[in-house]
Amino acid sequence: MIYGLDIEGIIIIDSLSINATQKGVALRYGMDVWGAKDQLEGLAQLTVEGSVEYDQVNVRVREHETQEGEIFNIGANIAIQDSSFRVSISPDPLILGYKSWQVNRGNFVLLKQGEIPAANLSLLNGDRRIRLVSEEGAIMNRNL
């Protein structure tokens, strides 16, 4: 447990708790961060947890619920391949800005050294949509 950490005056942490355990070939990890009372609400009590097994990293980051609800709760699977990372967002639960979002099945963002990122990611909340989709052979519009 760490108490009273000041990261270059930007983030002040009241306390930090880190744990890790091994179960078979999987490493399970967790971290709880409690921010100072005058910090941003989103940093009041943050939890990061997940596991690492072979070339797969599973992670969930969430802010504990406040009176208004949960600010964010997002999970992902990161597949580490030869000089690349493939990130897929977990569907349950997916909360961003106090709102529940739906994510498309088979979603991914592929980051590979020396290549343009590839993606198929759609987030939907009512009539709000966030999309990141790569298209082969698409011509870029220079007047964006």
- The percent of residues above 70 in pLDDT, for the chain, comes to 79
The pLDDT of residue 136: 72
Q: What is the rounded distance in angstroms from the CA atom of residue 79 to the CA atom of residue 26?
A: 14
Cβ contact 20:28 at 8 Å = yes
Choose among 46, 34, 29: nearest CA to 1: 34
pTM of structure: 0.79
Q: What is the mean pLDDT of the chain?
A: 84
Which residues on adjacent β-strands are paired with residue 62? 47, 73
